[in-house]
Amino acid sequence: MEYKVGVISGDGIGPEIVTEAKKVLDQIGKTYGHVFRYEEILMGGCSIDATGEPLTDAAIASAKASDAVLMGSIGGNTSTSPWYQLPPEKRPEAGLLKLRKALNLFANLRPAYLYEELKAACPLRDDIIGDGFDMMIMRELTGGLYFGARKTEEVDGVLTATDTLTYNENEIRRIAKRGFDIAMKRRKKVTSVDKANVLDSSRLWRKIVEEVAQDYPEVTYEHMLVDNCAMQLVKDPKQFDVILTENMFGDILSDEASMVTGSIGMLSSASLNDTKFGLYEPSGGSAPDIAGKGIANPIATILSAAMMLRYSFDLDREADVVEQAVKQVLQDGYRTIDIMPQEKPQEKVTQVGTAQMGDLICERIR
């Protein structure tokens, strides 16, 4: 079969990690007789430099015409890059938000899983790690603070900035259903995370999640306040199966969850709508501090490509093979710098760069 894959390489480490994911897809293509046809789509800082816009209408049209989109990361150093002198809607991140909205990608799945082989890269104590952890962060992606009205103005001579956080019941219901559906295929537990002790939007969130839960009698569910959840993720991450939460809480908690699995460089993600289409990207950013050095971890992007095979193309066997190849490479002792053992190496490992890691994973796809 032939698949049309839109590719957003983006900024910083984006092109480096996307190259490795394409390498892996091509190896899968060669092994199993598929063709992945790539079409580069400009988004983020590189698009600003080329067109003056972080995402053009033509770029949105190309994304829509693809079977799925593979993305690296966008953005620059938010303190020093000239992109951040531009008005908010012209900055790199505005392109990503516009694309998520245009494609109605309301469900963001971020699987945080601690590989047995990466226990030494996990900053938590051995007694907390135990047999490891495996959770799915289900983040609402097209509502909340990111998409509410915002303005900066002078009120009585005082500079005042406003962001608004709005959710309607339909937006909450559809993500909650996705969360419970996913839980049914996992360990059947949902932790819905909110700030219902303060926010109206969270109180509505809780009410609707409560309603949706009635349709899933087999799923155990609980509500947890977001500040407590941030703490519990470090105290006892084993307790979590599916974490269901709104846009900004999900952004923050997923970075935290990534670190307990070793590194942000391991956390893949899929942004889905009601069709087979999806946008697949690592959860981390453009990492300006290491861009161009050839040391970024490409595994999150490669695992995102595996999610693309599974969710958009129904190629479950091929997705399994990619995931198995990643596991094998870790078992064989290869690590990028971000997942090197934290303390004196208890095990024999070899540090490799971005391209080498991609090659090693390809070699394990047969």
Write down the catalytic residue from 22, 23, 98, 195. 195
Which of 134, 136, 135, 133 lies closest to 107 in space, CA to CA? Answer: 136
Q: Is 316 a catalytic residue?
A: no
Write down the catalytic residue from 227, 274, 314, 332. 227
Residue 297 marked ligand-binding: yes
Alpha helices in 294-338 (DSSP H): 299-311, 316-331
Task: Pick what 290 binds: Mn ion, ligand IPM, ligand NAD, none; C-beta below 5 to 8 Å, kind-dependent.
Answer: ligand NAD
Q: Binding ligand NAD by CB under 6 A: which of 93, 194, 246, 323?
A: 93
Write down the catalytic residue from 4, 255, 327, 359. 255
Tally of CB atoms within 10 A around 200: 11
| Residue whose entry in the numeric block shows the structure tokens 């909450």 | 172
Residue 289 marked ligand-binding: yes
Tally of CB atoms within 10 A around 138: 28
Q: Binding ligand NAD by CB under 6 A: which of 46, 264, 308, 330?
A: 264
Q: Is 227 a catalytic residue?
A: yes
Confirm or reject binding of residue 10 to ligand IPM (CB under 6 A): no
Distance CA 42, CA 62 (A): 10
Q: Is 146 a catalytic residue?
A: yes
The token pair at 215 is: 């349709």
Q: Is 167 a catalytic residue?
A: no
Confirm or reject binding of residue 202 to ligand IPM (CB under 6 A): no
Pick the stretch among 117-125, 132-140, 195-203, 286-294 that binds ligand NAD (CB under 6 A): 286-294
Write down the catalytic residue from 3, 113, 115, 146. 146
Bridge partners, 350 (sequence order):
334
Q: Binding ligand NAD by CB under 6 A: which of 73, 108, 201, 247?
A: 73
How do beta strands 107-113 and 220-225 pair?
unpaired
Distance CA 359, CA 332 (A): 14
Distance CA 282, CA 205 (A): 27
Query: CB–CB of 12/73 below 8 Å?
Result: yes
Task: Pick what 338 binds: Mn ion, ligand NAD, ligand IPM, none; C-beta below 5 to 8 Å, kind-dependent.
Answer: ligand NAD
- Which residues fall within 8 angstroms of residue 220, CB to CB, at 6 or more apart? 188, 189, 190
Residues 214-253 that bind Mn ion (CB under 5 A): 251
Query: CB–CB of 125/230 below 8 Å?
Result: no
Query: How far apart are CB 11 and ligand IPM at their closest, in Å?
Result: 11
Confirm or reject binding of residue 297 to ligand NAD (CB under 6 A): yes
- Which residues fall within 8 angstroms of residue 11, CB to CB, at 6 or more apart? 44, 45, 46, 72, 73, 74, 75, 76, 92, 286, 291
Query: How far apart are CB 71 and ligand NAD at their closest, in Å?
Result: 7
Region of residue 82 (left: phi > 0; alpha: psi -120 to 50; beta: else): alpha
Query: Would you give the DSSP letter of residue 66?
Result: S
The token pair at 260 is: 């307990």
Q: Is 26 a catalytic residue?
A: no
Closer by beta carbon to ligand NAD, 98 or else 205: 98
Confirm or reject binding of residue 53 to Mn ion (CB under 5 A): no
Q: Which H or E run includes 227? A: helix 226-235
Confirm or reject binding of residue 283 to ligand IPM (CB under 6 A): yes
Distance CA 115, CA 261 (A): 7
Q: Binding ligand IPM by CB under 6 A: which of 10, 14, 45, 75?
A: 75
Q: Binding ligand NAD by CB under 6 A: which of 6, 75, 237, 278?
A: 75
Q: Contact positions toward ligand NAD, by CB under 6 A?
A: 13, 17, 73-76, 78, 93, 96, 264-265, 281, 284-290, 296-297, 300, 338
Catalytic residue list: 146, 195, 227, 251, 255
Binding-site residues from annotation: 100, 110, 139, 227, 251, 255, 285-297
Binding-site residues from annotation for Mg(2+): 227, 251, 255
Q: Contact positions toward ligand IPM, by CB under 6 A?
A: 75, 93, 96, 251, 283
